[in-house]
Amino acid sequence: MMHLDEVTLNEYLDSALAPEQRSAVESHLVQCPDCTTRLNGLRALFAELETLPETAPRRDLSPAVITALRRRLPESLVAAPALRAVFAAQALIALVLLGLALPTIMRATQWAVVTQLAGQTVADIAGAFTGVTSELQALQISLQHFMAASLEFVRQPPLPSLPMLNVGLCLAAVSLLWLVGNGLLLRRQPSSPARSRS
């Protein structure tokens, strides 16, 4: 007769066998005293572990845990509901200001790009006409005058005005600083390996 292996006996006692395997093991145990003895030995070990008594710690752990948690200043700040509301309001205001400043910054960026492109175009066109015959030189000069005039117009756009641009940039910078500052202040602290004893 084939005996049950140790792994199967362990899985049987751990209720880890599928129903049909379990039935097969039970059928075998009924007719095999050797396997039943081994199973009972394993059961006795389980019982020994279960009888191990629980014991109380000699000190209350809660004061030391609470002290360790409170020592984490940023998380304590987050814990105060009033301060949480202040931080949330600050973040909201910063986001609104950033939103207000954004169109001004985008327009300024756009104008800078247009100016740069226009300058490159003038240089390219002038270069292309350099080797042309004398009949075309007059036309080239006229064209250069025209492009220079156009460039002058582009370089002095009606919008945005300098003070407006400065205000926009200041708003954006302050909002970003505000958000980053609060983010740094409220970030989670890495766990400390140091343990405190009460």
Partner 1 sequence: MPDPSDRDLALRARRGDAEAFGELVRRYQTSVFNVCYRLLGERREAEDVAQEAFIRAYERLDTFDADLPFGPWMRRVAANLCLNWMERARSAPVSVPLDDERDPEEVGEGNPVSAREHAEHAEAVRAALLSLPPRYRTVIELRHFHEMSYDQIAAALRIPLSDVKSYLFRARKLLAEELKRYG
Binding residues (CB under 8 A) for partner 1: these are 6-7, 10-11, 14, 16, 41-42, 45-46, 48-66, 68-70, 75-76, 78-80, 188, 191, 195-197
In terms of Cβ atoms closer than 10 Å to its own Cβ (0-12, 13-18, 19+), residue 28 is middle
Output the smallest distance, CB 82 to partner 1, in A.
13
Please identify, using beta-carbon distances, which residue of 13 and 165 lies nearer to partner 1.
Answer: 13
Output the smallest distance, CB 101 to partner 1, in A.
33
Q: How many CA atoms lie within 13 A of 140 on its CB side?
A: 15
Cα separation, 185 vs 69, in Å, equals: 17
What's the start-to-end Cα distance of the chain, in Å? 62
Cα separation, 161 vs 86, in Å, equals: 35
Output the smallest distance, CB 178 to partner 1, in A.
22
Please identify, using beta-carbon distances, which residue of 60 and 103 lies nearer to partner 1.
Answer: 60
Output the smallest distance, CB 156 to partner 1, in A.
56
